[in-house]
Structure 1
Amino acid sequence: MDYQLETFTETRKTEQAEKPYEGEEADFNTQPAPQPWDIPAKTPSFFTKHKEKIRVPFTSSIKVIGKQKLCIKCNARGNMDCETCEGKRQMLSSIKLKVKWSNHEEYHVVPQNSGLKIELDSVSGKELFQNSQSLLYLLLGFPNPAISEASQRMIKDHQTKYGQTSRILQQRQTVELIPITKVNYKWKGEAHLYYVYGNEHKVSADNYPATCCCVIQ
């Protein structure tokens, strides 16, 4: 059995940016520039990672190459395409807003007594419970106390950790039962075993005999 917590966040940062001028409006100081969180940005589907760059309104100004900065390749004559102004001889300077949507995932696998000695967070199982909210409540009273304990610890940790630097838009918690089948067999009079686990039917077979001519799938 495992418990999965996902916390979907939005982070915003601003930085100075320049690009070759292509006729954009120079609106610097015509109005007060909006604060980063006041700028509209379309949120992707929840739990989907995405990045976006937005030019902040009322921060754009035009710089003429040669007065603030000299283009070495063509001496600011504009007769060569260069990496700086691409032959335009003018640069648009503005503040750029970088918006990042992230999905922070964490798993807790309840120790099992089957003898399987591998991590089970790479496989899926049968979904027993799932819910999502903008901010989750602790999962209390679950039949397995270890799941309730993991929920309490991880939800508090995520809300504290990611709420300080980002906006938490949505959280989702899922409880899965991971199937594990233990197979005992004999080979040339000796006892052996292997495991089949997860919905993906992965196999773990330590000390499997005759590996040169037989493969378990």
Structure 2
Amino acid sequence: MSGIPVPNLGPPYPGPAGSSYPPPAGGHYPQQPPQYTPQPQYAPQPQHVPHGPQYPPAPVKQEVYPVGATQGPTAPPAGSFEKVEGYRDTGFNGGFVAPPSRAVPTAPPPDLPRMDVVQQPLSRGEVKEALAAFVAQHCCYGSGPIKDMEIRSVVPSATFKYTLDTFTEKRETKWKFEPWKGDSLATSGAPPPGPWDMPITPKHLFQKETRTLEVPNSQSLRPCHDCQAHGDKRCQHCAGRGRSSCGPCGASGVRQQEQCGRCGGTGTNECTPCHGSGMITCPTCRGERNLKYFVELTATWEVHSDKYVVATPGLPDEQVREVSGETVCQAQGLFVWPFTGFPEDQVEHASQHLVKKHQTSWPLARLLQQRHDVQQIPIHTVGYRYKETEGTFFVCGHEKKVFFPDYPARCCCCCVLL
């Protein structure tokens, strides 16, 4: 690894024709801008101390510059710098790069063994405990019916929940620049590696993560395009005058028929952003005059999940998706194959549909790992009697989550107030 040489090529990079930047000490700008040789032979400009205000009064009204107006960093014009091999289509707005193709296995693995699950029914006491927890989660539900409610029946049953998770990686490249503070740029002279040639791995599988890094050998130096390598710019707040209109008196010098105490009757105040100098530090290079360009790679790992629930009459699928049960079948690998021979046809069809969907849903991402499983979700249908009302509700999953839309003691007043 070696550093890019930084020879001294003479005076600072000149401003545009007709600009009012003061000439450098001891000389004038050359008649023609220096011709920068291809990167990385560009010579960075020496450190610069901002000049005082040298601009003539601008023929514009001060009122067009709002108080506190500042200029942020700007992007360089298109085509103003050399392209890097392998990243010629990369811009400052970024873009995702499609991964290289990967062959899909042609033969499915043998059928996986499935476990038989023995479900223990809930007792009436456990049902009332689950109901009490359900009421405690709702501020407008009264607990009175729990004691007086008669549990007439508890009918155990089960349904199946199929889950498919696909773990993917996307890589985005974009040009970036930052002020160059004089540190050496390490480069081996070799072309930069391709976006998918750099070895980057996630810390954990099936966890969302984002990581950024500089692409090796993509760094180069250029003069700041925003200030023309001067390090400072005309203050937009005061148009380079060093003073701005007084707000309290509206630049009249008089306030409530008396001399304005803020500006002393002059109608202007010292410009706050530039402290009266008429110049501000360039926001793009932060006064360093030179910018380091590089290609930034952003790797993003995401988990894409789909679930399918075998419907239970009277019970919304969303209630089952939120609970867990016993895993009866599962598999994990680079690619997974649909479950076959499952006793529930709906699960087998859902597995076939979702696995096929996940193979083509993210063309700009690389599939790193897949997993799927089938859970048997315990469901208890509870018959009850409260006063003259009879009905049913459900207790679902290992969490014993209650679905009871007709709970008899509900107060809607607090819900309306909330």
Most deviating of 145-154 and 193-202: 193-202
Deviation readout 1:10-45 (Å, 9 max, x if unpaired): 111211111222445435792211110111213221
Question: The residue matched to 2:361 in structure 1 has which SS?
Answer: helix
Instruction: Give matches, 1:6-85, under 5 Å.
Output: 6-26=165-185, 30-65=189-224, 66-67=227-228, 71-72=232-233, 83-85=283-285
**Alpha carbons of structure 1 residues 179 and 81: separation in structure 2 relative to 1, 3 Å:** farther
Q: Which of 138, 157, 162 is residue 357 of structure 2 equivalent to? A: 157
Once the 2 structures are TM-superposed, how far is the Cα of residue 51 of structure 1 from its aligned partner? Answer: 0.5
Native 8 Å contact 1:25 1:60 kept in 2: no
Native 8 Å contact 1:192 1:208 kept in 2: no
Considering fraction of residues, name the structure with more strand: 1
Once the 2 structures are TM-superposed, how far is the Cα of residue 53 of structure 1 from its aligned partner? Answer: 0.7
CA distance in 2, matches of 1:43, 1:73: 46
Partner of 2:391: 192
CA distance in 2, matches of 1:175, 1:52: 33
Segments of structure 1 that go 5 or more residues without pairing to the other structure are 213-217
Most deviating of 131-140 and 117-126: 117-126
**Alpha carbons of structure 1 residues 72 and 178: separation in structure 2 relative to 1, 3 Å:** farther
CA distance in 2, matches of 1:21, 1:179: 63
CA distance in 2, matches of 1:112, 1:69: 73
Q: Which of 113, 122, 135 is residue 335 of structure 2 equivalent to? A: 135
Partner of 1:215: none
CA distance in 2, matches of 1:17, 1:98: 12
Once the 2 structures are TM-superposed, how far is the Cα of residue 68 of structure 1 from its aligned partner? Answer: 6.2
**Alpha carbons of structure 1 residues 144 and 109: separation in structure 2 relative to 1, 3 Å:** same
Once the 2 structures are TM-superposed, how far is the Cα of residue 73 of structure 1 from its aligned partner? Answer: 6.4
- Give the letter aligned to residue 50 of structure 1: E
CA distance in 1, matches of 2:379, 2:198: 50
The TM-score normalised by the length of structure 2 is: 0.46
CA distance in 2, matches of 1:142, 1:91: 62
State the aligned residue count: 208
Native 8 Å contact 2:162 2:373 kept in 1: yes
Matched, 1:209 2:370: no
The TM-score normalised by the length of structure 1 is: 0.85
Once the 2 structures are TM-superposed, how far is the Cα of residue 87 of structure 1 from its aligned partner? Answer: 3.7
Q: CA RMSD in A?
A: 2.6
CA distance in 2, matches of 1:157, 1:143: 23
**Alpha carbons of structure 1 residues 107 and 97: separation in structure 2 relative to 1, 3 Å:** same
Q: Which of 344, 361, 378 is residue 179 of structure 1 equivalent to? A: 378
Native 8 Å contact 1:54 1:96 kept in 2: yes
**Alpha carbons of structure 1 residues 21 and 70: separation in structure 2 relative to 1, 3 Å:** closer
- Give the letter aligned to residue 72 of structure 1: K
Question: The residue matched to 1:170 in structure 2 has which SS?
Answer: strand
- Give the letter aligned to residue 19 of structure 1: E
CA distance in 1, matches of 2:232, 2:355: 54
**Alpha carbons of structure 1 residues 24 and 112: separation in structure 2 relative to 1, 3 Å:** farther
Native 8 Å contact 1:131 1:172 kept in 2: yes
- Give the letter aligned to residue 174 of structure 1: D
- Give the letter aligned to residue 365 of structure 2: S
Once the 2 structures are TM-superposed, how far is the Cα of residue 86 of structure 1 from its aligned partner? Answer: 3.4
CA distance in 2, matches of 1:20, 1:89: 8
Matched, 1:88 2:249: no
- Give the letter aligned to residue 297 of structure 2: L
Native 8 Å contact 2:220 2:292 kept in 1: yes
CA distance in 1, matches of 2:230, 2:322: 53
CA distance in 1, matches of 2:221, 2:373: 52
The higher radius of gyration belongs to 2
- Give the letter aligned to residue 47 of structure 1: F
Partner of 2:344: 144
- Give the letter aligned to residue 312 of structure 2: Q
